[in-house]
Amino acid sequence: MTHQLYLLRHAKAEPWSPLGNDFSRPLSSKGNCHAQRAAEWAKEVLPPPDTILCSPAKRTRETLGPFLSHWPQLLATTDYIDSMYGASLNMLLTLATDAFSYSERLLMVGHNPGFENMLMDVLQQDQAVSIHKMATGTLAVIEFPGNFQRDARKGKLLHLIRRKQFSDN
């Protein structure tokens, strides 16, 4: 058995404002377009995940929306986890470990710096050193031989899809 982790950082959001609420920031028009294109790519290339864990922030829910429109059966296995907003690496690894106890493929949708830290932490060392950041809208697909183990650093990067791969973003 192998486990696969789809790690998706939310798409480009509207700029932060000192008068606004970070949690409620929506995607920008470019972010909405990118989320749609990323979801179309995923539908064509990836098997659907068994489970989705998503931060409840507006920009992560809006990033996930097009994925759920392509994979509507996943509405029943999607959880919005409060602790994913601003989550530490330890929290994200704990959530993944738990989800992999009942899933083979997991999609997590969230924020930096936690997601970037998680990506670097689960990859094999030779792959991790070649990745310098996880920009908004990045989708990483990582495969683990056998079961996911939080401290094993055995993840193999299968795909790293960035927003710049779509021509008008």
Asked if the model's pLDDT at residue 168 lies above 50, the reply is yes
User: 20-41 pLDDT, tens per residue?
Assistant: 889 999 999 999 999 999 999 9
Chain segment 67-110, per-residue pLDDT in tens: 999 999 999 999 999 999 999 999 999 999 999 999 999 999 99
Q: Give the domain 2-165 fold.
A: Rossmann fold (3.40.50)
Please, which residues have CB within 8 angstroms of residue 133's CB and are 6 or more apart in sequence? 116
Q: In the chain, where are the structural domains located?
A: 2-165
Question: What global pTM score does this model have?
Answer: 0.95
Residues facing residue 13 across a β-bridge: 27
